[in-house]
Chain A
Amino acid sequence: MRYIPHTAEDVRQMLETVGVTSVDDLFAEIPSSLRLRRSLALGEPLAESELLKKIRRLAAQNATADTHASFLGGGAYNHFIPAVIDQLISRSEFYTAYTPYQPEISQGTLQAIYEYQTLICQLTGMDAANASMYDGASGCAEAVLMAVRATGRRRILLSSALHPEYLATVRTYCRYLDLDLIEVPCDAGGGTDGAALLRLLDDRTAALVSGYPNFFGVIEDLSAQAAAVHAVGGRLVTVVQEPIALGLLKSPGELGADIVVGEGQSFGIPLSYGGPYLGFFAVRQGDIRSMPGRLVGQTCDREGRRGFVLTLATREQHIRREKATSNICSNQGLCALMATIYLALLGKAGIREVAGHNLAKAEYAKGKIAALPGFSLPLSGTTFNEFVVEADEGAAVVLERLEKEGILGGIPLQRYFAGMDKRFLVCVTEQNSREEIDALVSALAGGKQ
């Protein structure tokens, strides 16, 4: 019981002060028929050394980019994480704090979130951002709900080139809200089909939701989409699942997006088998009061010293209860801090350089793979760091062969799309060396010889 400080003598004195004779008496309000009459079957407590041995044994059964050459992306990305990040977030004044309800002793968290909000605005070209979303998918669902609130309309167009798990999350959130969710098909380039979009847009449309880059890695034509959706009075929701791309790409704000959401895991947050990650969420000035989540604002104290507080709480669940803008009550503080440190380290030049490396490596891999007999790149759209490959012999066979060579070659698209049994999604980041990419190409070719 190394985390519990009470000695037998402490307990005796405390019980005396309380005025009861045993610890059990403290639970007298719990009817005896409800009391558990046995010990919890959870085994003996493990010593610290035993626990670490057990966790290492379990960890050894997982494949990672340390044990394999990894080309897995699809919403979670293997980017380099500078040592500074873990050192700084391990300062326990950051990680053992709660939501900053008492600003005088939470200025560290509050200022860091304010800096995070600013960085996200600069990157997305928007006016305000929060640090409250659990991940890109739930942020996407919250964006849909916000578009409905802001427009009073109930029809949502969703690009079918969005991440399938984001689409599924939107469907879950909207299950009982009587909304019209309509998927817009893709064109041959792998982007949202512009002609189909124009047919589906009408004055009942609250929003179009599309990716940038989308799930297939393709860079959508946001300007055209913004013009089309604005013409009917709807909002453009842009979903960025790989935000490193924004180091090179024009910002969604510049191209006309009204709400920008995305996944911040790429910014120094470990892959950690799917979480915790960081959903970012940014809006334009006019929508600040209808956005969900906690916001930090700048203000000053009685002496005029600059400081930061949680603000605009009138939108929140603990005040408006059933009329709240969402039921979110946390911010994703520590993950937002990781992203803030990451972006501060990269800065203006670094974000562009990292994006450039991702693009260059992916283009190199694309060129080599496209030249292999039996393989093709079925989508013609411009991509950033991931792309779809088609294999004549079938994706499952190919990926299994790669695995035997110690390569995690990509995500089979059959997992999400019936009929795509020949296609898989390959992601190349700055972490993949030329040597690794060449090994992937030669392993792909291996089956042919």
Chain B
Amino acid sequence: MKSLGTQGLILNEKLLFEHSDAGRKGYSLPRLDVPPARLPAALVREEVSGFPELSEVDVVRHFTRLSTWNYGVDSGFYPLGSCTMKYNPKVNEVAARTPGMAAAHPSTPDHLSQGALALMHDLQEALAEISGFPAVTLQPAAGAHGELAGMLMIRAWHEAQGNSRKKVLIPDTAHGTNPATAALCGYEVVPIASDGVLSAAAVAAAMGGEVAALMITNPNTLGLFEAQIREICQIIHDGGGLVYCDGANLNALMGIARPGDMGIDVMHFNLHKTFSTPHGGGGPGSGPVGVTAVLAPFLPVPVVVEEQGTYRLEVDRPLSIGRMKAFGGHFGIMVRAWAYIRSMGGEGLKRASEMAVLNANYIRARLEGTYHLPYTARSLHEVVFSDRDLGGNCHTLDLAKRLIDYGYHPPTIYFPLVVKGAIMIEPTETESKEVIDEFCDAMLSIAAEAGENPDLLHQAPKKTRVGRMDETGAARKPRLKWEK
């Protein structure tokens, strides 16, 4: 077996609490240069019971060892569909750590924060140019948070017109967060069936006077372009509704086409997907939102505005939906995204989308015929297969675990929900032909193994520090914290 993964020195490591030894600490304070003070005794706790006691080297070694049990984009190929795990440029990390950026307090007066505000304003304008939306807010803290901001704006717009529609249309290819977001805005969700791509006729049949909005993802979670998007937007608008677009898949469209030009009214960006900011083991992300001029008055506060070369945070906006969080947003992530956009320029971003789409189609061409392709329409930046043709009673989960033995992070599995046994692969543009060829070889080799020696798949992974976990047991008797 040709394999990137191998076995080597895998160190064991206890929990922090199991290392602890009374009297150690890994922190130093300057001598207290003022008199000590006391709180009233009734307010004071004895100690933080259970807290560890460790030296600096204990802590460093602990987390260094833990890091070696993780797989990141820098370790290798991470084709997690719909998550856009592209390479995270190192200079972006340096930019975000520049002391004048990293140490700026959010309550500093505007006139002493001109650098931060200028960068935010510049990022807003760049996102507007990329998406075709005239107004952008940077405040939301993640994609799902941006979705919530966007849907709240849609509802606020309807309410401002004295219109209290209660339904939101959501196609079956939508992201999992979309229905939950609509529910948080007090909406009732009406699902629409699609045949891979949403048809204008299906939208027309579902549209009515009670419908406030349609939530769509374009390209959708099958990696397909919603080709009738303009007609769909027209139908919703004619019926008095608005269109929300989940921007999770914007990486396919930069410099190619702009959601704002398609008739969409609101869209969130995922800075941690499209704009190369690292995902940190699940966060932090950042979810700016772009809107049409009609919706601009409803943006959450604060909004960064520029007047004659001076920037300020505007909070007094009577139609605003309010605040989504404290302070202005995930500024550290904004710095990274800004650095990426400026490093790439307009042509670079277009090239990124082109190569992301080329990579996905190349994988599709190499695996089609061996793996079942449930939807055959042309793919953009990601491609969805299924486990239908895998032999040996092997399923998507077995394939995913076997890929780990080959040294790859598995693709997204069992998503989108419309495909039984889905395997969703998104290579992004930062992977070379060489990497993709090796990955495809592994996928083909695993398909052969499934027929010949399916136990290799059922028992996988074999080379990791731990094997398949008892997840049922974990949920049945939850152990969510360490206890002596």
Chain A 379-403: CB-based contact to B (< 8 A → 1; otherwise 0) = 0001010000000000000000001
Docked-complex contact B281 and A137, CB < 8 angstroms: no
**Cα of A98 to Cα of B180 in the assembled complex, Å:** 22
B478 with A40: CB separation less than 8 A: no
On chain A, the residues within 8 Å of B114 by CB distance are 61-62
Contact A163 B256 (CB under 8 A): no
CB distance from A94 to the nearest CB of B (A): 5
Q: Evaluate contact between A343 and B106: CB separation under 8 angstroms.
A: no
Instruction: Report if A256 contacts B (CB, 8 A).
Output: no
Contact B283 A335 (CB under 8 A): yes
User: Known contacts A34-B261, A40-B255, A40-B350; is A94 also within 8 Å of B330 by CB?
Assistant: no
Q: Given A5-B431, A72-B108, A347-B26, does the pair A95, B88 have CB atoms closer than 8 Å?
A: yes
Most buried by B among A309, A354, A403: A309
Tell me whether A297 and B479 are in contact in the complex, defined as CB-CB below 8 angstroms, given that A39-B346, A95-B280, A331-B282 are known contacts.
yes
Q: Is the CB of A129 within 8 A of B464?
A: no
B141 near A43 with CB under 8 A, answer no
Q: Interface size bucket, A side?
A: 35 or more
Question: Is residue B113 contacting chain A, with contact meaning CB distance below 8 A?
Answer: yes
Q: Are A76 and B433 in contact (CB under 8 A)?
A: no
Check A94–B67 contact: CB distance below 8 A. Answer: yes
Q: Which of A29, A96, A166, A433 is in CB contact (< 8 Å) with B278?
A: A96
Quick one: CB contact mask for A48-61 with B, threshold 8 Å, 1 for yes? 10011011111111
Q: Output the least CB separation between B439 and chain A (Å).
A: 14
B218 to chain A, nearest CB (A): 10
Q: Are A98 and B80 in contact (CB under 8 A)?
A: yes
A361, CB-defined interface residue at 8 Å: yes
State A140–B68 Cα separation when bound (angstroms): 35
The residues in B between 315 and 337 inclusive whose CB is less than 8 angstroms from any CB of A are 321-333, 335
A108 touches B70 (CB 8 A): yes
Q: Are A40 and B100 in contact (CB under 8 A)?
A: no
Task: Assess A322 versus B189: contact at CB under 8 Å? Given A14-B433, A166-B326, A411-B107.
Answer: yes
Q: Mark B195-211, 1 if CB is under 8 A from A, else 0.
A: 00000000000000000
Given the known interface contacts A63-B113, A109-B70, A219-B43, the answer about A344 and B52 at a Cβ–Cβ threshold of 8 Å is yes
Are the CB atoms of B227 and A31 closer together than 8 Å?
A: yes
The residues of B that contact A129 with a CB separation of less than 8 Å are 480-481
> What's the nearest-Cβ distance from chain A to residue B111, in Å?
9
| Distance (whole angstroms) from the CB of B302 to the closest CB of chain A | 10
Contact flags A245-287 to B (C-beta < 8 A → 1, else 0) = 0111111001000000001000000111111110000000000
Determine whether the beta carbon of B148 is less than 8 Å from that of A54.
Answer: no
* Interchain CA distance A109-B75 in the complex, whole Å: 14
Residues 344-374 of chain A, each 1 if its beta carbon lies under 8 Å from chain B, else 0: 1111111111101101111110000000000
State whether B255 touches A3 (Cβ < 8 A): no
CB distance from B403 to the nearest CB of A (A): 9
Partner of A42, one of B129, B354, B468: B129
Q: How far is the CB of A49 from chain B (nearest CB, A)?
A: 9
B430 at the interface (CB under 8 A from A): yes
CB <8 Å contact, A10 and B66: no
Contact status B467-A92, CB under 8 Å:
no
Write out, one digit per residue, whether chain A residues 295-322 have a CB within 8 A of any chain B CB (1) or not (0): 1111111110111110111101111111
Q: Find out whether the CB atom of A115 lies under 8 angstroms from the CB atom of B474.
A: no
| Inter-subunit contact A23/B354 (CB<8 Å) | yes
Query: A340: shortest Cβ distance to chain B, in Å?
Result: 8
> With A and B bound together, what is the CA distance between A441 and B387 in angstroms?
71
How far, in angstroms, from A78 to B364 measured CA to CA in the complex? 51
- Please tell me if the beta carbons of B101 and A354 are within 8 angstroms of each other in the complex: no
Q: A26-B361, A36-B255 known; A251 and B346 CB under 8 Å? A: no
Select from chain A the residue with minimum beta-carbon distance to B108: A63
User: Chain B residues near A298 (CB, 8 Å)?
Assistant: 474, 479-480, 482
Q: Which residues of B contact A382 (CB under 8 A)?
A: 39-40, 43
Contact with A along B109-129 (1 / 0, CB 8 A): 100111110110000001001
Does B177 lie within 8 Å of A329, measured CB to CB?
yes
Q: Which of B30-38, B237-245, B388-396, B445-453 lies at the interface with chain A?
A: B30-38
Contacts of A94 in B (CB 8 A): 67, 70, 72, 280-281
Partner of B67, one of A88, A314, A363: A88
Q: How far is the CB of A253 from chain B (nearest CB, A)?
A: 11
Which among A74, A302, A357, A411 is the interface contact of B467 at CB below 8 angstroms?
A: A302
Q: CA A316 – CA B415 in complex, angstroms?
A: 15
Residues of A within 8 A of B102 (CB): 270-272
Interface string of A78-105 (1 = CB under 8 A from B): 1000101011101111111111111111
| Contact (Cβ within 8 A) A84 B26 | yes
A117 to B181, CA, bound (A): 26
B121 shortest CB reach to chain A, Å: 11
Option from A33, A92, A302 in Cβ contact (under 8 Å) with B74: A92
Measured CB to CB, the closest approach of chain A to B273, in angstroms, equals 10
Which one, B87, B323, B377, contacts A168 given CB within 8 A? Answer: B323
Contact B325 A138 (CB under 8 A): yes
Which residues A3-25 have CB closer than 8 A to chain B?
A: 3-6, 10-11, 13-15, 17-20, 23
Contact in complex: B325, A137 (CB < 8 Å): yes
Is the pair A341, B467 in contact by a Cβ cutoff of 8 Å?
no
- Are A93 and B70 in contact (CB-based, < 8 A)? yes
Chain B residues with CB under 8 Å of A169's CB are 322-326
Residue of A with least CB distance to B5: A105
Q: A3-B430, A62-B108 are in contact. Are A103 and B148 (CB under 8 A)?
A: no
Residues of B within 8 A of A296 (CB): 480
Would you call B59 an interface residue if the criterion is a C-beta within 8 Å of the partner chain's C-beta atoms?
A: yes
Given the known A-B contacts A105-B404, A108-B66, A172-B323, are A334 and B283 also in contact in the complex, defined by CB atoms under 8 Å?
Answer: yes
From known contacts A31-B230, A70-B105, A99-B282, infer whether A299 and B469 are also in contact, taking CB-CB under 8 Å.
yes
5 pairs, A vs B, C-beta closer than 8 Å: A17-B362, A51-B342, A108-B67, A163-B326, A329-B176
Given contacts A34-B262, A93-B74, A94-B70, 9 further A-B pairs with CB under 8 A are A14-B362, A29-B378, A45-B342, A102-B400, A114-B480, A138-B141, A272-B332, A273-B331, A301-B467
Listed from nearest, the 6 A-B pairs whose CB atoms lie closest are A59-B100, A274-B327, A334-B280, A40-B346, A274-B106, A333-B281
